[in-house]
Amino acid sequence: QQQVKQSPQSLIVQKGGIPIINCAYENTAFDYFPWYQQFPGKGPALLIAIRPDVSEKKEGRFTISFNKSAKQFSLHIMDSQPGDSATYFCAASGAETSGSRLTFGEGTQLTVNP
């Protein structure tokens, strides 16, 4: 059972555009929601993360919006650049998910055209 659903599967934007990637989760016990960025041939790297006690978090050009009642969260990339072209994964974890139990979404392949 997929507990974190991510959309869209792929996304193409022009430089300067604002791509938005959405995720929905099912487990209300999740309390940590990270986004990972992965370049071809590399491992995923943590980009930004949010806890459910806030509705938004910004780090540079990257923003997470969080809607606890809807059980949804999204990643916005402001002023996107070709260097942002990568695969993005949302994930979720919680205190009851012991060990390294991050549950990942399916991934979104983002292409930013020059």
Partner 1 sequence: NAGVTQTPKFQVLKTGQSMTLQCAQDMNHEYMSWYRQDPGMGLRLIHYSVGAGITDQGEVPNGYNVSRSTTEDFPLRLLSAAPSQTSVYFCASRRQTAYEQYFGPGTRLTVT
The residues binding partner 1 (CB under 8 A) are: 4, 6, 9, 32, 34, 36, 41-46, 49, 89, 93, 98-107
Q: How far is CA 103 from the centre of its chain?
A: 12
Q: How far is CA 98 from the centre of its chain?
A: 21
Nearer to partner 1, 17 or 49 (CB): 49
What is the C-alpha to C-alpha distance for residues 69 and 101, in angstroms, rounded to an integer? 23
Minimum distance from CB of 15 to partner 1 (Å)? 27
Tokens of 106: 């399916």
Minimum distance from CB of 107 to partner 1 (Å)? 5
Nearer to partner 1, 56 or 106 (CB): 106
